[in-house]
Amino acid sequence: MDYFKRLLDLLKTEREEDKASYQRLTERSSVSERRAGGLSWYPIAIRGSEMSRGDYLTVEVERTTHQDISHQLRFGMPAVLFSNHEPKKDRLEGIITHQGGNRLKITLRTDELPEWSRDGKLGIDLLFDDNSYDEMQGAIKSAAALLENEKEGRLVKILTGEKSPSFNEELPKIAIPTLNSSQNEAVNKILSASDLAIVHGPPGTGKTTTLVQAIKALVRQDYQQILVVAPSNTAVDLLSEKLTDEGLNVLRVGNPVRVSERLMSLTLDSKITAHTRMKDIKALKKQANEYKNLAHKYKRNFGKAERDQRKALFDEAHKIMKEVGSVEQYAIEDILSKAQVITATLVGANHYTVRNLRYKTVVIDEAGQALEPACWIPILKAEKVVLAGDHFQLAPTIKSSEAAKNGLSTTLLEKCVSLHPESVTLLEEQYRMNEAIMGYSSKIFYQNKLKANVSVARHLVFPDDAPLAFIDTAGCGFDEKLEGTSSTNPDEAAFLFKHLTQYASELMHSKSFKIENFPTIAVISPYKEQIGLLKEQLIHNAVLQPFTDKISVNTIDSFQGQERDIVYISMTRSNPEGEIGFLSDIRRMNVAMTRARKKLVVIGDSATLSNLPFYSDFISYADGLNAYQSAWEFADM
């Protein structure tokens, strides 16, 4: 019980901090600042409306300008339609029920649009997402209550360390020809597990491929629906596509971020549209809207007879919408019964359409980035859980440093790996990195167990190139500067691009070079302000200009799950005190270093970095491979 009480307290701390930072961001900001921060669409135009379930109205809107600004408006989020004439007064709250491209649908708690919505100057603001916190809190309380129940509480007891997981060792092993031995081992562990299996997938080891094959095998084994969830929409999209490619009937709950026609066709909205009962639904909705439009013809200054007539028309419209609701419910249940796999985000697993479903198996992908309270939402629907991820890569984002410090940043994956090593299969063969790039991560994080597949072990950008370099700026006077709360190092940024330019020139003059084969490049720094300087360097670089579509400059976090041929890392920190700040988060560095396929170049000040054994050992590792260089060697660049 203490386990869940502690988790509830941590979640409360996180919720309060998240809410406070949201309020700081929105209360004193103008609509253009909120728009720049991704919290608003403004201006918008209303493109249509239709009656929804209950007395609600669904309105489709389009953002008409600033369409290139990235935003956080997503399916299931609470939002408000407002008029910028009097934003405090003229506002209607609702839920985003669809979002794609520059259009979204918002279901509002009203049965007709107010007069102010006809005046233009309209926008949509995101509201603080209390709903997600309510769902997480509810799940933790339910999990705590289950501990009292011997049979139904078994899985909860295993995940909290009170009981041990069990396996059916009698089950015949399967061998999938497209998988390697550790991947097949993971699939068999998942099939034989009665309650818990864990797939530990280091970078480039084919975790998603393994999971997809395991899910396919589970569907064959159990003939039962499987729930597959992940913390991010992007991860859910990837799995939904790959499972569909394997011929499984997938239902994607929620809206895909990658708005491809293929993914859209997996959504409930799309499947309802294609359903045989859709004709009936359309006809009924049309009828209801006609009644509603007739009712609107009565102006506000009418007598009793008109008022009664208007009420009768509205009543008729609502009666028809009730019928629409029951026909839609039939269609939803029909679609759900045919789906072999349901995919959603962790919180999306409690969407009203699937809230009451139960599953033999729930698969949680990217569990190393999942907040534990959110994991309990899908877990409560399962007899057996498969956790997949890598707890040596980025942890979940947590707003409250107090909650993080007190344990909220420790994921359920991490806890279960140490509690139940018998449930874990480590994927050992990686298909991304040259073995020199892989070696240091393998030694520090994966007990030296990783091996590079023969197809990548020796691959290089061009023959005789070096796959790894640490370039030491110690003694060069490249001192860091503080910009606000973030560190920058202008000299290091300039040096990095000089080095990259020289390297690109060498590459272009090599015999085998073809312009269409110019490699993909990531320039990474842990510091946001340094990224700003690096982006400026790229803009003003004439040699690299023709290849900017192949070069990405961004923070480490934005590259999680991605890979590039060449990766340059600007470590940024260089100071006499040897302070390295959050460079001490070595998991983040593990992500940065393992993005590279064929070449990794790390640029930093050894005098500052060596204060942490992780970096001094890396510099020794590079030296052992003849990959250590001093920036002085490039003085005449």
Q: What is the CATH number of the domain that holds 42?
A: 2.40.30.270
Domain extent, residue 462, equals 432-634
Domain annotation covers residue 619: yes
Domain-located, residue 422 = yes
Alpha helical stretches, state H, 303-425 = 304-338, 372-379, 401-403, 412-419
Q: Where are the alpha helices (DSSP H) in 380-485?
A: 401-403, 412-419, 435-445
Say whether both 210 and 62 belong to one domain.
no
Residues 52 and 105 in one domain: yes
Number of H helices, E strands in the chain: 20, 23
Quick one: 282 and 243 in the same domain?
Answer: no
Task: Fill in the amino acid letter for 318.
Answer: H
Establish if 230 belongs to a structural domain.
Answer: yes
| Residue 268 falls inside a structural domain | no
183 shares its domain with 237: yes
Please report whether residue 29 resides in a domain: no
Do 506 and 628 share a domain, yes or no? Answer: yes
15: in domain: no
Both 357 and 280 in a single domain?
no
State the average pLDDT over residues 619-627: 98
Choose the final residue of a domain: 128, 158, 181. 128
Instruction: Point out the least confidently predicted range of 212-226, 293-307, 456-470, 550-564.
Output: 293-307
Confidence of residue 542 (pLDDT cuts 50, 70, 90): very high
Q: Both ends of the chain: CA-CA distance in Å? A: 64
**Which DSSP category does 366 fall into?**
S
pLDDT at residue 280 is higher than 70: yes
Average pLDDT of the chain to the nearest whole number: 92
- Report whether pLDDT(212) > 90: yes
Which secondary-structure segment (H or E) carries 536? Answer: helix 528-539
pLDDT of residue 517: 86
Confidence check: pLDDT of 488 > 90: yes
Is residue 584 located within the same domain as residue 444? yes
Local confidence band at 461 (pLDDT 50, 70, 90 cut-offs): very high
pLDDT in tens, 148-184: 887 789 999 999 999 999 999 999 999 999 999 999 9
Q: Both 59 and 146 in a single domain? A: no
CA-based angle 24:580:398, to the nearest 5?
A: 35
369 and 225 both lie in a single domain: yes
CATH code for the domain of 560: 3.40.50.300
pLDDT at 329 over 70: yes
Q: Within this chain, do residues 205 and 313 fall inside the same structural domain, yes or no? A: no
Say yes or no to pLDDT of 301 above 60: no
- Inside any domain, residue 258: no
- For 75-84, how does the pLDDT look when each residue is reduced to its tens digit (9 = 90+)? 888 999 999 8
What's the mean pLDDT in 321-341?
89
Same domain? 167 vs 219: yes
Same domain, 200 and 61: no
pLDDT for 259? 67
Question: Could you tell me the pLDDT band of residue 637, with boundaries at 50, 70 and 90?
Answer: low
Domains held by the chain: number: 4
Q: Of the residues 408, 427, 446, which one is the last residue of a structural domain?
A: 427
CB 350 within 8 A of CB 377: yes
- The length of the chain in residues reads 637
User: How far apart are the C-alpha atoms of 496 and 541, rounded to whole Å?
Assistant: 12
State the Cα–Cα distance between residues 344 and 360, nearest whole angstrom: 16
CB 567 within 8 A of CB 522: yes
CA distance 283 to 274: 15
pLDDT tens per residue, range 7-62: 999 999 999 999 998 888 888 888 999 998 889 999 999 998 887 776 788 999 99
Please identify, among 311, 337, 363, the residue that sits at the C-terminal boundary of a domain: 337
Assigned domain for 167 exists? yes
Residue 203 has pLDDT above 70, yes or no: yes
